[in-house]
Structure 1
């Protein structure tokens, strides 16, 4: 019997605003879509937190025995500045600034995205589609929306008619916004004169002569709207209705709201049963922002080369820190919080390491079966990782008591304890056991690999002065870079 038969999960559904009992559309199978990154810059920690939350959720579903199709896209076109319908495509803009092909930008930052997620021990999704690989599907979707009377063509661009849609549907059903309020609060913007109403959004944009990324369509040479891409990719791989759609809280409006409208307009039904949103990552009590300087990227957090934290942190400590908060809670990244997480992580790993040396007895002074059920109860309650971690520390305390002789455990309970604590710590939370002795070397490796990647980027950009500077300063610090056809490695003196 699969574990999902005996574990009833409750999920907070943003659409209803309530926790609901999770019932997949197809028994034993789950379709989950999560909005991936727009690959025009290095992935930031807020993204890492969102994807880490869904990695944990993916892991728990798999642990329970579900067959999960997890789709997380790559946005490599169509995402305009300020998430609107005007301005330049973010990838095109970066390519123009660096005088290289847009797909070089896409490749560079997709590799960075994967490298960062691998560092934090993410499982890869089942499918990772790209927006540029699904232009045909997007054109077909636009045609369906036009045929159903919910879109119009102006000067080669296609816009979704929000007011027409709202006559028979509810635009704002996810974000709990009313169209009347949106109308009242909307200011006229330059470049939106083609629209019937400012609230309408682009399904297809005609490319200006200077626009690099463009594709032929029935309306013009142009590019798809950002909102449309996720609608096309999610339904292609998960069907016209699927179980879970996830993303950051900042995507709820307008991105996810527009996805619902597009699906309703094209297919006549809501695409998703359960909408899930992760909350924001702050730093030192304030919003993370490059413009204000209250910002740190993953590389800086790992290496310690920043003015925000006292030192660099192992990626597993950072993962443990993030798992200590509910995915729905605002999480404040602080040096004190990371230091405390480091101590807690080491304490948990040390306890797990003791299990193999414990002596069993004829009796147990701890109800291991009841403790195991509390672990499942925590995860079944909307993936409550803070409660799960507290429950794991209960077991760690008991393990130390057995070691000290103040508690006893039977052989069967000891095996159950070992299997359970390892399953929840490593398989579900996604942590890796890093000993204190290894942590210093891991931090050095992470820091040097970051510098190797920066040097590689410098060489690709023909910035040989910076490339040589990185190599020479590492050599002065006793770290020798070794270039070969296979890549660059390093040795320490």
Structure 2
């Protein structure tokens, strides 16, 4: 139970500061993360959020916590432009592709799972769907109406923001003032049923042409987008749980509405720690399909895109994402991902070299101090870039040990090895792809050895131009030759 020896601090979006993490139930954590609306292929910005919370999940488990991680699938109720009126995103896609809405949901749910599997994300403990929890959503609406914070009009039910704000504080998560919000809103087409433009839908009446519909006390309809997460999080984590996460774009109105719904229904704020990931940009600009400034994970892995110079593996992309703190903006570019790839291979090479280190009677390096720095980084709001910096300090130590410029005792070597493997593979979730594909690695080694022989022959014949060309071209693809007393070796 490492957690008893570690003081973890989490930046709480609700308070705007880092707070010491104290779970509601000792040794157990309930965490909910808003999952995708499955109407299209998952994009890289979405993946950053899910990789970030996979890191959180992994580290909490590493500390010895029993974690129930709930991440939903939104397969109904998410209206185009996040509005209360209009066409459901999944229904619209189904109409365009001329298939059933659930075919769309299934197709893109499978894509979502496949992509996250490639990124080596752990599956959540529970993955509920919105359509599978219609009854729970209806019960919550009935409770909110009974408490006086919602009203029904023409088969639709709306949350009464002004009534709610008399007893609670709508806007506390996003730091918005309700008077300012009111002054900046206007009645839009399709919102005439609302008492106030700020009011949001808990249940929408289904028009005759609307395919996705369920019976309710107010007539056939479908749930509001915000309500779904309230129903699924509280069903599996209780009315009060530890952590709720998502992208910063969900802070308002989605998460703000979740808090309001819970308070209106139960009288209590649902979550102790709200966590939000920042955005991923591409070449300094916001990712957007409409402008073409966008790249899908599969396009990254195959190299079939007009943005990058080559293909990059899922583990390299994951490493790149984790080199930035989850709350900072991260810009994706060919230059940045290429630099990350070199760092990733240096880290993997060091881990392979670590297996060959022979222990001495004593140590000239301080492993315990280095290990504590690794934990200190992760205990400071899951600071993965600082952790990675400390891991590269270990890379330097390993290289010095390999060159026999430093020594390490058997116990320190074991400590170093266990800690490095734990943080690299268990916590960061990286995969040594050269080990995963041993046959490919062996063939690569054979090819490079052949090129080294050709280079040695060129040098013997004083054909230094060819010798330098072989060395430089290998270096350009990330393979570095090292000339030593015992001949030429290479590293990736």
TM normalised by structure 1 equals: 0.88
Q: Where does residue 240 of structure 2 map in the other structure?
A: 241
1:187-212 alpha-carbon deviations (Å, 9 max, x no partner): 22111000001100000000010000
Q: Where does residue 413 of structure 1 map in the other structure?
A: 412
Q: Where does residue 87 of structure 1 map in the other structure?
A: 86
User: d(CA) in 1 for partners of 2:268 and 2:195?
Assistant: 25
Change (3 A) 1:160 1:389: same
SS, match of residue 112 in structure 1 = helix
User: d(CA) in 2 for partners of 1:419 and 1:171?
Assistant: 48
Q: Where does residue 255 of structure 1 map in the other structure?
A: 254
How many Å apart are 1:287 and its aligned residue?
Answer: 0.5
User: d(CA) in 2 for partners of 1:99 and 1:344?
Assistant: 46
User: d(CA) in 2 for partners of 1:187 and 1:393?
Assistant: 54
Change (3 A) 1:119 1:271: same
Q: Where does residue 207 of structure 1 map in the other structure?
A: 206
1:36 aligns with 2:26: no
User: d(CA) in 2 for partners of 1:326 and 1:37?
Assistant: 22
SS, match of residue 110 in structure 1 = helix
Q: Is the 8 A contact 1:314 1:439 kept in 2?
A: no
User: d(CA) in 2 for partners of 1:322 and 1:378?
Assistant: 16
How many Å apart are 1:365 and its aligned residue?
Answer: 1.3
How many Å apart are 1:98 and its aligned residue?
Answer: 1.3
Q: Where does residue 23 of structure 1 map in the other structure?
A: 22
Q: Where does residue 69 of structure 2 map in the other structure?
A: 70
1:272 aligns with 2:291: no
User: d(CA) in 2 for partners of 1:440 and 1:118?
Assistant: 22
User: d(CA) in 2 for partners of 1:437 and 1:344?
Assistant: 18
Q: Is the 8 A contact 1:81 1:88 kept in 2?
A: yes
Q: Where does residue 462 of structure 2 map in the other structure?
A: none
SS, match of residue 409 in structure 1 = coil
Q: Extract unaligned runs of 5+ from structure 2.
A: 442-492
Bigger mean CA deviation after superposition, 262-271 or 403-412:
403-412
User: d(CA) in 1 for partners of 2:237 and 2:437?
Assistant: 42
User: d(CA) in 2 for partners of 1:284 and 1:92?
Assistant: 33
How many Å apart are 1:440 and its aligned residue?
Answer: 11
Aligned residues: 441
Q: Where does residue 386 of structure 2 map in the other structure?
A: 387
Q: Where does residue 325 of structure 1 map in the other structure?
A: 324
SS, match of residue 51 in structure 1 = helix
Runs of 4+ in 1 over 3 A off after TM superposition: 436-442
Q: Where does residue 482 of structure 2 map in the other structure?
A: none
User: d(CA) in 2 for partners of 1:135 and 1:26?
Assistant: 29
User: d(CA) in 2 for partners of 1:181 and 1:58?
Assistant: 37
Bigger mean CA deviation after superposition, 432-441 or 320-329:
432-441
Q: Where does residue 102 of structure 2 map in the other structure?
A: 103
1:55-96 alpha-carbon deviations (Å, 9 max, x no partner): 000000001110000000000000001111011000011111
Structure 2 counterparts to residues 380-459 of structure 1, below 5 A: 380-435=379-434, 438=437
Change (3 A) 1:158 1:222: same
1:269-322 alpha-carbon deviations (Å, 9 max, x no partner): 100000000000001111011111111111111111111110110100000000
SS, match of residue 167 in structure 1 = helix
Change (3 A) 1:221 1:308: same
Q: Where does residue 129 of structure 1 map in the other structure?
A: 128
User: d(CA) in 1 for partners of 2:339 and 2:360?
Assistant: 34
1:323-375 alpha-carbon deviations (Å, 9 max, x no partner): 00000000000111101000000000000001111111112111001111111
1:445-490 alpha-carbon deviations (Å, 9 max, x no partner): xxxxxxxxxxxxxxxxxxxxxxxxxxxxxxxxxxxxxxxxxxxxxx
How many Å apart are 1:220 and its aligned residue?
Answer: 1.1
1:372-417 alpha-carbon deviations (Å, 9 max, x no partner): 1111000000000000000000001000001011111111110110
User: d(CA) in 1 for partners of 2:375 and 2:43?
Assistant: 31
User: d(CA) in 1 for partners of 2:282 and 2:24?
Assistant: 39
Q: Where does residue 144 of structure 1 map in the other structure?
A: 143
Structure 2 counterparts to residues 299-338 of structure 1, below 5 A: 299-338=298-337
User: d(CA) in 1 for partners of 2:439 and 2:335?
Assistant: 19
SS, match of residue 435 in structure 1 = helix
Structure 2 counterparts to residues 167-186 of structure 1, below 5 A: 167-186=166-185
How many Å apart are 1:436 and its aligned residue?
Answer: 8.8
Q: Is the 8 A contact 1:346 1:436 kept in 2?
A: no
User: d(CA) in 1 for partners of 2:439 and 2:246?
Assistant: 34
- Structural RMSD (CA): 1.3
User: d(CA) in 1 for partners of 2:187 and 2:316?
Assistant: 47
Q: Where does residue 47 of structure 2 map in the other structure?
A: 48
How many Å apart are 1:439 and its aligned residue?
Answer: 10
Q: Where does residue 459 of structure 2 map in the other structure?
A: none
Q: Is the 8 A contact 1:94 1:105 kept in 2?
A: yes
SS, match of residue 273 in structure 1 = strand
SS, match of residue 357 in structure 1 = coil
User: d(CA) in 1 for partners of 2:358 and 2:137?
Assistant: 62
User: d(CA) in 1 for partners of 2:71 and 2:88?
Assistant: 21
How many Å apart are 1:256 and its aligned residue?
Answer: 0.1
How many Å apart are 1:427 and its aligned residue?
Answer: 0.1
Q: Where does residue 165 of structure 2 map in the other structure?
A: 166
Change (3 A) 1:439 1:191: farther
How many Å apart are 1:232 and its aligned residue?
Answer: 0.4
User: d(CA) in 1 for partners of 2:435 and 2:75?
Assistant: 40
